Amino acid sequence: MSTEELISVELYCRHEDMDLTFVQSLADRGLIQVVVRQQNTYIAPEQVTQLEKLARMHFDLEINLEGLEAISHLLERVERMQQELRAMEERLRLYEGEG
């Protein structure tokens, strides 16, 4: 991914009035992914939604970083389970259609 497609974390934080250390803490915990190029940190556009969601939970709901990790892990599990359920429902429809 070229640098033109990435969003500067520094500019993003300045625009959103967010502390850079918060974003770095999320990245350190694997909650978002950042890209470091030429001593500058960037975030992919598809990661912005995740960053905004985590920021709202942290700042608005006062959930600490450990809580964000737990919530993020549980949401990922729920999403995987929903995907598995959809796949099973589709397979069931195929079998029901044959009978």
pTM for the model stands at 0.81
Q: What is the pLDDT of residue 91?
A: 94
**Among 78, 64, 61, CA closest to 29:** 64
- Sort 81 into a burial class: Cβ within 10 Å, 0-12 / 13-18 / 19+: exposed
Q: Cβ of 18: how many Cβ atoms within 10 Å?
A: 17
Task: Write out the two tokens for 50.
Answer: 């995740």
Q: What is the pLDDT of residue 1?
A: 60
Q: What is the percentage of the chain residues whose pLDDT exceeds 70?
A: 95
- Sort 43 into a burial class: Cβ within 10 Å, 0-12 / 13-18 / 19+: buried
**CA atoms of 97 and 89, how far apart (whole Å):** 12
- Domains, the chain, in order of start with CATH, read 3-98 (1.10.1660.10)
Span 20-32, pLDDT tens digits: 999 999 999 999 9
Q: What backbone phi and psi angles, to 5 degrees, belong to 88?
A: -65, -40
